[in-house]
């Protein structure tokens, strides 16, 4: 697999292994796709439609060179007992009220928070911040007017974000140390 999409013709079926995308899942079901043995299985007669869907969602059908970019987006949302998604791409996911939340593969939190919340039974994933999404289809990014980040900008933004996070943490540590010194006197 090219890490995005892998399509294999197997007799009367076309099997698709791909990164998770909720938009792809919804459209795959409408096309008669079935989730089976860790891949989506379609009638091989629909090969062209399946390939077109993969290109629409992922920027590649596994045979074409991926036309993908890194985009920067601001998201403030919460997902009910599931991930928060942007255009079908999972941004972050919690697994319970007290689990905290983690950003998804191919996603970087530049600034803001990802966390879990809600009640024990009705927990949610909560995101509020600026994110980089890698391997986002260029056509979709252009259609939505998203900010495309070049590799150089990507590295600089990530370093600035990391620096700000570390400075904040150093400030917290200084406050704890100062409080400890005052309690010792």
Q: Give pLDDT, residue 72.
A: 94
- Residue 90 tokens, joined: 């999972």
Q: Give pLDDT, residue 163.
A: 81
What would the pLDDT profile of 123-142 be if each residue is shown by its tens digit? 999 999 999 999 899 888 99
Q: Give pLDDT, residue 148.
A: 92
Question: In Å, how far are 42, 52, 65, 95, 97 from 31, measured between CA atoms?
Answer: 8, 12, 24, 30, 35
Distance in angstroms (rounded) separating the CA atoms of residues 5 and 51: 10
Q: Give pLDDT, residue 179.
A: 84
Collapsing DSSP to helix, strand or coil, 172 comes out as helix
Q: Give pLDDT, residue 1.
A: 45
What would the pLDDT profile of 14-42 be if each residue is shown by its tens digit? 999 998 899 999 999 999 999 999 999 99
pLDDT block averages, 10 residues each, the chain of length 185: 80 93 94 95 96 91 85 90 89 92 92 93 94 90 90 63 80 86 79
**Full DSSP string of 13-53:** EEEEEE---HHHHHHHHHTT-EEETTEEEEEGGGHHHHHHH
């Amino acid at each position: 697999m090219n890490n995005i999409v892998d399509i294999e013709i197997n007799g009367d079926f076309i099997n698709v292994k791909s990164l998770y995308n909720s938009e792809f899942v919804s459209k795959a079901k409408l096309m008669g796709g079935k989730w089976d043995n860790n891949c989506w299985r379609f009638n091989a007669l629909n090969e062209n439609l399946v390939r077109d869907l993969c290109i629409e969602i992922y920027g590649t059908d596994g045979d074409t060179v991926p036309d993908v970019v890194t985009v920067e987006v601001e998201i403030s949302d919460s997902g009910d007992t599931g991930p928060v998604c942007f255009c079908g791409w999972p941004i972050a996911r919690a697994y319970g009220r007290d689990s905290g939340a983690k950003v998804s593969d191919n996603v970087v939190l530049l600034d803001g928070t990802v966390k879990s919340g809600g009640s024990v039974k009705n927990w949610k994933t909560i995101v509020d911040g600026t994110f980089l999404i890698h391997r986002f289809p260029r056509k979709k990014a252009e259609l939505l007017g998203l900010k495309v980040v070049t590799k150089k900008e990507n590295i600089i933004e990530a370093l600035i974000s990391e620096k700000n996070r570390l400075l904040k943490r150093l400030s917290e540590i200084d406050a704890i140390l100062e409080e400890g010194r005052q309690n010792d006197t």
